[in-house]
Amino acid sequence: MGREVSESCVDSLLTEMVSSYCDRFYANKPELAARRIEAIGFQVGHQLSERYTMERPRFSDNLEAIKFICKDFWSELFKKQIDNLKTNHKGTFVLQDNRFRWLARMSIDPSSEDGDLSQDNSAPVTENKAAQATSMHLYFPCGIIRGALSNLGIPCAVSADISSLPACELLVMECIRLYLLSYAHCIAFISTARYSFFSQSRSSCMIIVIFHPCISERALRFR
Amino acid sequence: MIVCVAVVGHQNNPLYIQSFTEADDALKLHHIVHCSLDVIDERVNNPKKSGPTLNETFLGLLYPTENYKVYGYLTNTKVKFIVVTTDLDVRDADVRNFFRKFHVAYVDAVSNPFHVPGKKITSRTFAERVSTIVKSFGLSSAG
């Protein structure tokens, strides 16, 4: 299909989507907005994976599918490949992109809103605000990856973390587990709700505590 | 001549079945398609050959019945395409070509944002494209 759209249109669309969902539709419920954006990403990823696996032979295992995501899928979407892929060989993969295209044009306003912060505190505070502001923009690509992998037969949960602005890391965890991410703002992602908390067998990090105050029982039964 | 094409999802749910004969044997063709799903499962789970043909999408002739030949194709996303044809001297290359064009049409139909994955494909454009591809299959193998 030969139709092209300019990249600035895609950037504007994504920015507008995040701002509509966060500021208008679900104004005081950021976790609901995040879930909706991630669901949109899921559908897009589902359909894109159909298109981009069209000419290829079938994948023989999960690692090949993840490598497809890192190389071909990422090149089709972002014109570059993933810079670093790490795995613990137990179903968790970390994809690192040192210059994520959709974050490349974002910057954080360095002046903080509270005028009475001392100079010492400003660096970690602005980093915190940066993480908060940009984390909403990462739900869509997480959804895309989750949709693509689930269409290839690998149910998983995907979460993202930003260390420094245009670099980001995406953590892909194959299903069935409830995880705690060890960052200051903890978010628990659940991929299938069919298994109870205590049925972990292979994983060594059997963590059940959830820090995020907004995750409720309803969220735990999500999907 | 192709008498029936079918698209079956990864949970063996039918997404699209269309027969191209005037006769009333649509049910028999559906039954043939249904039986061929077992053959596909068996082929995928017990691969006979190893090497370059192991993970190919085109599965080849699934099984011949008395009047029909059934060909299968399995995509990366575990969606199966099944073609039932009455020709006795169908060439492999023609069927592969057919499946390639069919795959393109399927991807376009599924990329419709109003299409719900897992439900039947209801797009008229897809149906028209499929009948065009089916008609051109008959012509190219006759020529």
ipTM score: 0.84
Cβ-Cβ contacts under 8 Å for B114 (sequence gap 6 or more) = none
State how far the Cα of B36 lies from the Cα of B72, in Å rounded to an integer: 8
pLDDT at B22: 75
Partners of residue A149 in chain B, C-beta under 8 Å: none
User: Pairing between strand B69-74 and B58-64?
Assistant: antiparallel
For residue A63, pLDDT over 90 is answered with no
Pairing of strands A92-97, A84-87: antiparallel
Q: What is the mean pLDDT of residues A81-93?
A: 87
d(CA A99, CA B128): 43
pLDDT at A206: 32
Cβ distance of B110 and A152 shorter than 8 Å: no
Residue B25 has pLDDT above 50, yes or no: yes
Question: Do B117 and A152 count as a contact with CB atoms less than 8 A apart?
Answer: no
Query: Nearest residue on chain B to A57, judged by CA atoms?
Result: B56
**Does the beta-carbon distance from B111 to A151 stay under 8 Å?**
no
Higher pLDDT, B63 or B80: B80
**Contact yes or no for B74 and A57 at CB 8 A:** no
CATH code for the domain defined by B2-142: 3.30.450.70
pLDDT in tens, A148-164: 999 988 889 998 888 77
d(CA A48, CA A45): 5
For position A36, what pLDDT does the model report?
Answer: 92
Cβ neighbours of residue A9 closer than 8 Å, sequence gap 6 or more = none
Helix (H, G, I), strand (E, B), or coil: what is residue A182? Answer: coil
Q: For all residues of chain B together, what is the average pLDDT?
A: 83
- What pLDDT score does A135 carry? 83
Is the predicted pLDDT of residue A223 greater than 60, yes or no? Answer: no
B77 neighbourhood in chain A, CB within 8 Å:
49-50, 53, 151-153
The structural domains of chain B, with segments of one domain joined by +, span 2-142
> Which ranges of chain A would DSSP assign to H, the alpha helix?
7-19, 30-52, 62-68, 74-78, 119-135, 139-151, 217-220
CA distance B115 to B11: 17
Q: Which residues of chain A approach chain B closer than 8 Å at the C-beta? A: 1, 43, 46-47, 49-51, 53-54, 56-60, 151-153
Tokens of A206: 């059997």
Q: Residue B68: is its pLDDT beyond 90?
A: no
Q: How close B22 comes to chain A (CA, Å)?
A: 32
Do A58 and B74 lie within an 8 Å CB cutoff?
Answer: yes
Residue B15 has phi, psi (to 5 degrees) of: -105, -25
- Range with the poorest average pLDDT among A62-66, A78-82, A114-118: A114-118
